[in-house]
Structure 1
Amino acid sequence: MPVVRVGVDLAKRVIQVHAVDAAGHVVVARALPREKFLAWCAQLPPGCTVAMETCSGAHHWARRLQEMGLRPRLLAGHFVGPYRLQGRRAKNDANDAAAICEAASRPQMHFVPVKSAEQQAVLAVHRLREGYKVERTACINRIRGLLAEFGISFAQTPEALREGLADALEDATSEMPWLARVALQRARLQWVELDCHIAWCDERITAHLKADAQAQTAARLIGIGAVGASAAVATVGDFRQFKSGAQFGSWVGLAPSQNSSGGKAKLGRITRHGDTYLRTLLIQGAKSAVMTAHKRDDRISRWLVQLTARVGWQKAVVAMANKNARILWAVLAKGQRFDPDHVSSKPGGAAAAC
């Protein structure tokens, strides 16, 4: 029987495939060298579903399979585990490929859209920027710790350390030996280099914002800047893949978790599912919007002021991040222009804030 669905477990050198026919009978279950995988896929019938977990290189293979006329399907890893019939203690490449193949057959399964090479290029800049930020923070803390060994301390802000570090290294009255001064000077140069790397990433993100109409639309929202708008557009791509703003907010992980039973709804903290980086940017942007809401007079800002007074700023920040996620979907999926004073009409005729 012809193959209709293939489950693929990707690895660096060996790729495990699990192919089944229309009746679900196993046709092929074998490991292939990486260089022979595409040649084997070329023998599959056109339109055959090839399912893979979302991991490093998955989008690359999916694009190659699309060029061959196949239907690649990417699944989040936590959706695959429950379909491993052998259980959690029998994890290997063959069982994982079979579980991926089985999970892809579910009619209600949520698949990850295949990202373009341009999307991944923009996200590469974002990932590098985050890495440089972590390295810069570590470098600053390292300098502070070494200075403290010689009785020198500065205020907590990086600006205070940057302004006083050069004078501290040249101060001949301190007990700091020559070798320590040279070592700290090299650490200072590393700090300057990391600042240059982050500035380059910011330039690339700004260029993406200027060239992408969707990113420009997203940047108009209150609490979403250039970095957040660029990351949202590059991560999601087509916002029409979500049925509603609530579904997009849930996908980002800003919806409350549930522990409901017997008709009693119990809501907890946000689920924190989805893309951690995008959710973090939405939360950070919402903090800025909450802290400056009293300076604006639009409908959303007035709502933020009242909400902060009622539930506190932390819960208001999460609520604002969820609202921004829903507005993002509305303006990018429907092609609308953001209006902070917009009033949406519910099906019953009642009006509420957007």
Structure 2
Amino acid sequence: MSIILSVVYALIPIAIFLCFCNFKLINGMVRPSLISCPIRLFEAKEECTMSMTTIGIDIGKSQLHVCTLDERAHVTLRKVFSRSGLIRFLVNTPPARVATEACAGAHFIGRKAESFGHNARLLPAQYVKAYVKSQKNDYADAEAIAEAATRPTMRSVPVRPPDPATASSPAQWLGR
């Protein structure tokens, strides 16, 4: 008796599904047509129409915390990257404003971002500090960097070109 009930309970959802669908003859076989089905079994998720316009990057020793903002300065993404992962992220992202705190490693990221079509801004740390909303952590710092970059009067440091002396090898420095 319990086997019969379990089979019936297993077939009830299928029977309900078949009652609300139209059938069409496709390739010589009768198939249900879900396109004209009056009941939606699964709701499609609404696609995000907002795009990221500002990318704030907090630079650490081995990890880079990223926070992206849309046109209305709402957070759209918080993620951690390695240096190579960040480069791949910037390559696959449409042109946006990329902001970091001004430091030695920020110039490399700024040059890479500009080579991919982004607008790189290096912000002094003392100006970013005022935009940290909560306790100090890497995600809060990245969000503060992104928010500070959206301000039209925020001063930024120009991205330095690569120094030819650092690009050469130590053997060339010694004249060998």
Q: For the superposition of Structure 1 and Structure 2, which TM-score range results when normalised by the shorter chain?
A: 0.5 to 0.7
C-alpha change, 1:83 and 1:50, in structure 2 (3 Å) is same
Q: Would you say the 8 A contact 1:9–1:93 is kept in 2?
A: yes
The question of 1:57 aligning with 2:105 is answered yes
Partner of 2:129: 81
The question of 1:98 aligning with 2:143 is answered yes
Partner of 2:162: 117
1:120 CA drift (Å): 7.7
Q: Aligned to 1:27, what secondary structure does the other structure show? A: strand
Partner of 1:10: 59
Partner of 2:84: 35
Rg larger in 1 or in 2?
A: 2
For structure 2, which runs of at least 5 residues remain unmatched after alignment?
1-49, 167-172
Partner of 1:147: none
C-alpha change, 1:119 and 1:79, in structure 2 (3 Å) is farther
**In 2, Cα distance between equivalents of 1:74 and 1:59:** 8
**In 1, Cα distance between equivalents of 2:158 and 2:112:** 14
Question: What percent identity do the matched residue pairs reach?
Answer: 36
Residues 180-204 of structure 1: per-residue CA shift (max 9 Å, x gap): xxxxxxxxxxxxxxxxxxxx9xxxx
**In 1, Cα distance between equivalents of 2:79 and 2:165:** 30
For 2:155, the aligned partner's letter is H
Q: Aligned to 2:117, what secondary structure does the other structure show? A: coil
1:56 CA drift (Å): 2.5
**In 2, Cα distance between equivalents of 1:37 and 1:112:** 21
Q: Would you say the 8 A contact 1:12–1:34 is kept in 2?
A: no
Q: Which has the higher strand share?
A: 2
How do 1:124-139 residues align onto structure 2 when only pairs under 5 Å count?
none
How do 1:279-318 residues align onto structure 2 when only pairs under 5 Å count?
none
For 2:69, the aligned partner's letter is V
1:66 CA drift (Å): 1.0
1:35 CA drift (Å): 2.0
**In 2, Cα distance between equivalents of 1:111 and 1:6:** 15
C-alpha change, 1:111 and 1:119, in structure 2 (3 Å) is farther
How do 1:1-354 residues align onto structure 2 when only pairs under 5 Å count?
1-46=50-95, 48-86=96-134, 90-118=135-163, 121=166
Partner of 2:9: none
For 2:115, the aligned partner's letter is E
C-alpha change, 1:98 and 1:116, in structure 2 (3 Å) is same
TM-score, length-normalised on structure 1? 0.32
Residues 58-108 of structure 1: per-residue CA shift (max 9 Å, x gap): 10111111111111100011011000011xxx1110010011011101111
C-alpha change, 1:28 and 1:120, in structure 2 (3 Å) is farther
1:52 CA drift (Å): 0.2
TM-score, length-normalised on structure 2? 0.64
1:31 CA drift (Å): 1.1
For 1:117, the aligned partner's letter is P
Q: Aligned to 1:111, what secondary structure does the other structure show? A: coil
Q: Aligned to 1:106, what secondary structure does the other structure show? A: coil
Partner of 1:293: none
Higher RCO by CA contacts (8 Å cutoff, separation 6 or greater)? 2
1:9 CA drift (Å): 0.2
Q: Aligned to 1:117, what secondary structure does the other structure show? A: coil
